[in-house]
Amino acid sequence: MNAVRPLDALHAGQWIPFGGNRAAEVSAELAANFEAGDRLVVVQDSGALLHIPAGEHALVAAAVASASSAFGALATVGDQQITSFYDVFASRLADDEVFAGIADANAADVASAAARGRSTTRLVLSPAMREGMIEGLRTWRDIASPRDQITESVDHVGWRVVARRAPLGIVGFVFEGRPNVFADATGVLRTGNTAVLRIGSDALGTASAVMRLALQPALRSAGLPDGAVVLIESPSRATGWALFDDHRLALAVARGSGEAVAQLGAVARQAGVPVSLHGTGGAWMIASDTADVDHFRQSVVHSLDRKVCNTLNVCCIVGSRASELVPVFVEALRAAAALRGVSARLHVEAASTSFVDPSLFAERVVVGRADGNHDEPFASSLDVTQTSTEWEWETSPEVTLVVVNDVDHAIDLFNRFSPRLTASLISADAGEQQRFADRCDAPFIGNGFTRWVDGQFALDRPELGLSNWENGRLFARSAVLSGDSVFTVRLTATVIDSGLHR
């Protein structure tokens, strides 16, 4: 049997094995910061060495313990109490006096992020976002409880087996700085689960205010245990690693930038925790040779109202219509920017530049980014491999244009370079639409604007996130994760014939 001892120190230049046949070197900075009691998570996929200070680990462990205790208590809580929680939570967010404190916290978060050159497009708790949060909570209030719902019943001679939905357990969430997903995450309570949340440091002040002023009072009012929803009150990224490394989680949900989400998913998987990852996005739109001009124009404009994962990122136009539709696309791109009072930014695949007015490459525009305004060309070229880039624009709509041979060519590019999330075909040919749906390796397929991909908008249920198929299709579930899709199935047997035996 191999000897085991605590890891109480690291040394610069020390090699840490990972992945079975590789090793990662400990940096001088990591060695200097690592103390006795700290933890080191080695990501087996990449060799990343993740340092979790003892204090951060203890904070997370206590949060998960609280959620674990609350999960047991929820089994004895009636559905009406959960309904009451959503009602009170929504009412407090709708109360202007209560919300004033949350708005003040959000304004401070936004000012801090802007001063540090951080993106604030998803951080601002706007009136529309507030209404969306309230609407989402009222949706969970009014929905029929899926707890203990019978999904299947099999009758045998002398006995019966019934399959019922049952709560899954503790759900760990790591979210980027978007205040609304914090409220959406409470949807897991409707199915009897508890939640531990770690939100991006940019929105931590807002989340703390929501907890203090609205969520916790709603829990107490409904008679639910405080640990039913726990916020990790720390800005440290290490708390996210510690949370997803905790084997007590029943599900780990990560939502944010692609690289960070992938790393968190790797940490959870190697801890034996199932994951639901919602990271890289960016929608593709294809205009075929039967595309209606006005439908195409409006689809582009309405796909660029703001930057989220389902925003138009790459537009493909078939060569047979390029002379007509490329100018229409440029016009629509400018129109979308004008609605925001800004200039747009266009990237053109190198082999497609001949289809674009040369003056657009010489034109200069002011592009608003997280770190301020930049003087840039309206249009510039890029290699076809760079169609995989997701433009994380701040205020100025930013899109890639590719002129393709035909729709099949566009599909091939989509399946190779996109994150395989959302694809839209502008075509009047029903057969072509069907072939497009059959060949595109994506969970969301449409024939118009791409921004329809949203749980609340499309399914009338607040979403916890949208999963792409970049790392393979999802087993037995939709790419929209919502609170009522977080469950397991329990089998119960009722024996009528006491003489029954195998």
pTM of the model: 0.90
Question: What homologous superfamily is domain 283-458 in, according to CATH?
Answer: Aldehyde Dehydrogenase; Chain A, domain 2 (3.40.309.10)
SS (H, E, C) 126-145: CHHHHHHHHHHHHHHHHCCC
pLDDT score, position 259: 85
Tokens found for residue 120:
């604030």
Tokens 């690592």: give the residue: 34
Q: Give the pLDDT score at 134.
A: 95
Q: Where are the domains of the chain?
A: 15-54, 56-279, 283-458
The pLDDT of residue 121 is 80
CA distances from 455 to 309, 314, 437, 458 (A): 13, 22, 20, 5
- C-beta of residue 172 within 8 angstroms of C-beta of residue 104: no
Cα 49 to Cα 52: distance, rounded to the nearest angstrom: 10
- Supply 74's token pair: 């929820």
pLDDT for 1 equals 67
CB 194 within 8 A of CB 170: yes
- How does pLDDT run along the chain (502 residues), one tens digit per residue? 678 888 999 999 999 999 999 999 999 999 999 999 999 999 999 999 999 999 999 999 999 999 999 999 999 999 999 999 999 999 999 999 999 999 999 999 999 998 888 888 888 999 999 999 999 999 999 988 888 899 999 999 999 999 999 999 999 999 887 788 778 899 999 999 999 999 988 999 999 999 999 999 999 999 999 899 999 999 999 999 999 999 999 999 998 877 889 999 999 999 999 999 987 889 999 999 999 999 999 999 999 999 999 999 999 999 999 999 999 999 999 999 999 999 999 999 999 999 999 999 999 999 999 888 999 999 999 999 999 999 999 999 999 999 999 999 999 999 999 999 999 999 999 999 999 999 999 999 999 999 999 988 999 888 888 999 988 888 888 999 988 889 999 999 999 999 989 8
* Residue 477: per-residue pLDDT: 85
> What pLDDT does 291 receive?
98
Is the CATH number of domain 56-279 3.40.50.2300? Answer: no
The three-state secondary structure class of 315 is: strand
